[in-house]
Amino acid sequence: MNKIEINDLRSAIEYLKNVKGQLVKSDVEVNSHGELAGVYRYIGAGGTVKRPTKIGPAMIFNNIKGHKDAKVIIGLLASRERVGMLLDCAPKRLGFLLNEAVKNPINPIIIDNEKAPCQEVVHYATDEGFDIRKILPAPTNTEEDAGPYITLGMCYARDPETGEGDVTIHRLCLQGKDELSMFFTPGVRQLDAFRKKAEESGEALPISISIGVDPAIEIASCFEPPTTPIGFNELSIAGAIRNKPVEMVKCLTVDEAAIARAEYVIEGELVPNKRIREDKNTNTGKAMPEFPGYTGEAAKELPVIRVKAITHRKNPIMQTCIGPSEEHVNMAGIPTEASIIQMVEKAMPGRLVNVYAHPAGGGKYMAILQIKKSIASDQGRERQAALLALSAFSELKTVILVDEDVDPFDSNDVLWALNTRYQGDIDTIFIPGVRCHPLDPSQSPEYSWTIRDRGIACKTIFDCTVPYELKDKFKRAKFTEVDLEKFKIEEYK
């Protein structure tokens, strides 16, 4: 296969067309309201989606009801193997790739408007008949959703005081012909800090939302503090992954920039002191399926984006994902792995072998740390590593510690360690009353009287490592190493 340079969604698709089993399509008309996600649930959603589901290929829908010239791709990153292909990295080393990228950032650049594919077609909000719901084939995951959602919009804005930019992904619901609601997880997003600064001054915050971009940008945008504090532009991580700067372009209607090779760009402003009920159009009380596997409650009031324009490529491709799918696991989990690697390596170099943000936690709630104990004084450092991870990442709820001979990416191997190298009364560490994540329904006062507020949890460490002095008694059975090529193994025909 000829090597294809990946620098946007289209080149990523062209790459996958040449890899067996990684991309499928359908030309049958599909309704974006529930049906599209209902199909992909069986094809390749995975993650915390209700079974039956599986990890499978990405899928392109070529015939979207009500949208003549648009396509929708879903599941592009819903396989760790596929993420590795698209980032040119072994799947189990992705955390290390991103860690190196964070340490060697390459800042984005601005290119001329006439060179930006994302502005080939322009729709102004002042145009007669302008309606974002007719321009964007944004799906609903389920029939209960508060409305069509943009699930993979790269939201870019700048600190109104310093001018420093930041890109993140948010829950964006299409509320009207020129309005979106924007959900912020309390206290964890830099764009929310920018919005509050602007609002305190009575000013609108210009924002661009780029949809359908280079997968490296989507992965990089999911980094969070403390790895990427306020002032750190995550687009520079994507630049480092590709070893060239991300190209941006000035918006046409607001004082902001967007990703130049995006399929769609929404230009708008976060309106100061305006709020909207998330399910105002459906009154279901539901928002959309979220990464823990449950449908999130509709927020009673959310900030509003007033859309000024939508620009897009000719024959644009809308990109979307299912909230609880393996796609979220990879986008949220791999940056978390990189961040844990960076933090633990600084504190205790050479002890951490690898990290896996497990799909059962949606890429956020659970991490498996593979630890190497080389000398007697390494005993106990595995728990120190777990404490570092839990203290740095508020959303992390559970850490499982395993030895270097256990594959953290193999759940059966991890459960084997839990059963043969763990005793509940001495190897479980509870840390109650710690701020975690409000989307976990068990983290609420209704679940237990011991929980004082929604989003507070008992964080837990399962130490499934062998005590250093007993390592000789826990050696796995040794098998003869062989050269499989010698045996010319074939299927019966």
- pLDDT, tens digit (0-9, with 9 covering 90-100), for 298-348: 999 999 999 999 999 999 999 999 999 999 999 999 999 999 999 999 999
Per-residue pLDDT at 188: 54
Say whether both 123 and 271 belong to one domain: yes
Average pLDDT, the chain: 95
Domain assignment present for residue 45? The answer is: no
Identified catalytic residue from 224, 247, 269, 290: 290
b/e map of 428-448 (b: 16 or more CB within 10 Å)? ebeeeeeebbbbbeebeeeee
Q: How many domains does the chain have?
A: 2
Say whether both 293 and 185 belong to one domain: yes
Per-residue pLDDT at 383: 97
Tell me how far CA of residue 459 lies from CA of 246, 280, 375, 432, in angstroms. Answer: 38, 35, 28, 6
Q: Please give the average per-residue pLDDT across 163-170, as a whole number.
A: 92
Domain assignment present for residue 447? The answer is: yes
pLDDT bucket at 1, cuts 50 / 70 / 90: very low
139 cis-preceded (ω within 30 degrees of 0): no
What letter represents residue 288's amino acid? M
Say whether both 311 and 374 belong to one domain: no
- pLDDT, tens digit (0-9, with 9 covering 90-100), for 229-280: 877 899 999 999 999 999 999 999 999 999 999 999 999 999 999 999 999 9
Say whether both 269 and 360 belong to one domain: no
Say whether both 362 and 262 belong to one domain: no
At 100 the three-state DSSP class reads: helix
Per-residue pLDDT at 429: 98
Distance of CA 80 to the CA centre of its chain: 12
Q: Smallest Cα–Cα separation from 198: which of 257, 280, 270, 261? A: 270
Say whether both 309 and 414 belong to one domain: no
Say whether both 363 and 302 belong to one domain: no
Instruction: Give the C-alpha separation, 252 to 310, whole Å.
Output: 10
- pLDDT, tens digit (0-9, with 9 covering 90-100), for 69-124: 889 999 999 999 999 999 999 999 999 999 999 999 999 999 999 999 999 999 99
CATH number of the domain that residue 162 is part of? 2.30.110.10
- pLDDT, tens digit (0-9, with 9 covering 90-100), for 345-385: 999 999 999 999 999 999 999 999 999 999 999 999 999 99
Domain assignment present for residue 56? The answer is: no
Per-residue pLDDT at 230: 78
CATH number of the domain that residue 453 is part of? 3.40.1670.10
Query: Does the annotation mark 290 as catalytic?
Result: yes
Domain assignment present for residue 159? The answer is: yes
Say whether both 422 and 377 belong to one domain: yes
Say whether both 372 and 289 belong to one domain: no
Q: How many CA atoms lie within 13 A of 389 on its CB side?
A: 37
Sheet holding 456-463, edge to edge: 352-357, 366-371, 398-403, 456-463, 428-435
Q: Smallest Cα–Cα separation from 9: which of 303, 301, 312, 274? A: 312
Q: Residue 370 belongs to what domain range? A: 348-473
At 477 the three-state DSSP class reads: coil
User: What one-character DSSP code corresponds to residue 210?
Assistant: E
Say whether both 366 and 410 belong to one domain: yes
Both structure tokens of 35: 């049906």
Residue with tokens 């791709």: 73
Domain assignment present for residue 78? The answer is: no
Per-residue pLDDT at 187: 58
Say whether both 353 and 269 belong to one domain: no
For the residues of 260-296, what is the DSSP string, one character each? TT-SEEEEEEEEEEEEE-TTTTT-SSEEEE-TTSSEE
Domain assignment present for residue 34? The answer is: no
Say whether both 266 and 398 belong to one domain: no
Q: Smallest Cα–Cα separation from 78: which of 41, 50, 51? A: 41
Q: Please give the average per-residue pLDDT across 151-179, as a whole number.
A: 95
Per-residue pLDDT at 231: 79
Domain assignment present for residue 373? The answer is: yes
pTM confidence score: 0.94
Domain assignment present for residue 488? The answer is: no
What letter represents residue 414's amino acid? V
- pLDDT, tens digit (0-9, with 9 covering 90-100), for 2-24: 568 999 999 999 999 999 999 99
